Amino acid sequence: MQPTKTKEVFKVINTIDGIRTGILKTRAGKVLTPTFMPDGTRGAVKSLTPEQVESTGVQIVLANTYHLHLQPGEDVIANLGGLHRFSGRKGPILTDSGGFQVFSLSKINKITEAGVYFKNPKNGDMVFLSPEKSIQIQMKLGADLIVAFDDVTALDNIGRKRTLEAFERTHRWLERSIAEYQRLTVGMRSEDMPILFGVVQGGLDKNLRRKSLEIVQSLPVGGIAIGGLSVGESRAEMHDMLVFLADKYDDSSRPRFLLGVGDPVDVREGIRNGIDMFDCVLPTRNARHGSCWVSGDKRIHLTNKKFIKDTSVIDENCDCYTCAKGFSKGFLRHQFKVGEPLAGTLVSIHNIRYLERICEKSRSVGTL
Ligand SMILES: [Zn+2]
């Protein structure tokens, strides 16, 4: 297997007490880390324009391969100019592999060594996704950062046999993902190539996790993704695993991406343990239900009756558009109560900014 040019994509600038700041070089621009990536599930961060997303300090937006493959399809998006033109975003876009959604949202028909057969929830059609197919879709979409397809297992209700099977298959599939990536990038200049992330699995079994990390790090991937956390385990278990992995990363030349984690407490713990990138639907999903974070990582629910006459903004310490503009909790509560979509937009801006401020603070002063 030919090594990819992994040494040039990421550089650590500074490390203070285990908190590292770095620069990630993508073909769509440079990214300062740590960084939080909101989920633009179907090609848009729900209810936000690209300018509103940028205003929060977001540097990378994530899009879901699974959803875009099923609708409208990667060919349609390619014909419309690729994900950047399609979504109006100039900066870096990361696509996930589709694996997590296949295993969590679909009725799986069959998992074979070749790939996964599942039913399209919209029309019942049989769909096949494999390591090669996932890489092909992500490349066709035009993402700048892509993720290898893995055999995702939930933490509960599966036996040891299935965990081990998924663990071993994930690494065989990673080799196939890399081979397909290399096939599709033949002849490309290194600066034009998307960055491929390999995914570390192993559930809560530390032995498996260590082995998985060793295997992924031994392969020519541009980034290391930690998958299979924040899927039902306790917060203490997740943090314990982040601490366990912290001193086992081999060097500093590759970014580390913690998949699907976006609660402020968990983001801080990730940053403390050498994680550079995070993504999650939490800030926007919570926002649409009127839930937002305020100083101290507390959550308030704007639909609560106690805010009916509240003239204060969500968080006096926040510099987001919504807080800076002076929208009161009373105003936002009213808009939620009457079903006005603007409420979700304004609170999404606040919640994403909350996470970006955590990242910015750790980048600027090396503290949380
Ligand atoms: Zn705010």
**352 C-alpha to center of ligand 1: Å?**
9
pLDDT category, 4, cuts 50, 70, 90?
very low
Contact 118, 109 (CB under 8 A): yes
Q: Is the pLDDT score of 158 beyond 80?
A: no
- Identify the CA nearest to 257 among candidates 210, 214, 171, 195: 195
Cβ neighbours for 281, distance < 8 A, ≥ 6 positions apart:
39, 41, 262
pLDDT of residue 2: 46
3 token code pair: 């090594």
Q: Report how far ligand 1's centroid is from the alpha carbon of 46 (Å).
A: 17
* Å from CA of 350 to ligand 1 middle: 4
Neighbours of ion ligand 1 (CB under 5 A): 318, 320, 322-323, 350
Catalytic residues: 96, 279
What is the pLDDT confidence band of residue 228, given thresholds at 50, 70 and 90? confident
Amino acid at 195: I
**Which pLDDT score, from 0 to 100, does residue 5 have?**
44
Residue 26 corresponds to which tokens in the numbers above? Answer: 């993508």
CA-based torsion, 131, 188, 219, 17: positive or negative: negative
Residue 78's CB is within 10 A of a number of other CB atoms, namely: 16
- Gap from CA of 354 to ligand 1 centroid (Å): 7
Q: What is the pLDDT of residue 23?
A: 95
What distances in angstroms separate CA 92 from CA 88, 134, 210, 341, one per listed residue? Answer: 12, 19, 30, 27
SS (H, E, C) 99-142: HHHHHHHCEEEEECCCCEEEECCCCCCEEEECHHHHHHHHHHHC
Between 168 and 6, the higher pLDDT residue: 168
- Please state the pTM of the whole predicted model: 0.95
Dump pLDDT digits (tens) for 245-300: 999 999 778 999 999 999 999 999 999 999 999 999 999 999 999 999 999 999 99
User: 116-119 and 126-129 as β-strands: parallel, antiparallel, unpaired?
Assistant: antiparallel
Instruction: Tell me the pLDDT of the chain averaged across its residues.
Output: 93
pLDDT for 339 beyond 70: yes
- What pLDDT, in 10s, does the model give residues 122-132? 888 999 999 99
Torsion sign, CA atoms 47, 50, 55, 58: positive
- Overall size of the chain counted in residues: 368
Ligand 1 geometric centre to CA of 319 (Å): 6
| Distance between Cα 296 and ligand 1 center (Å) | 14
What percent of the chain clears pLDDT 90, i.e. is strictly above it?
Answer: 81
Q: Report the run of H or E that residue 235 belongs to, with start and end.
A: helix 235-246
Token pair in block for residue 337: 């109560």
| Average pLDDT of the residues in 41-46 | 93
Which CA distances in Å does 357 have to 18, 76, 301?
A: 19, 36, 21
Binned at pLDDT 50, 70 and 90, residue 153 comes out as low
Which residue is it, tokens 């500074």? 14
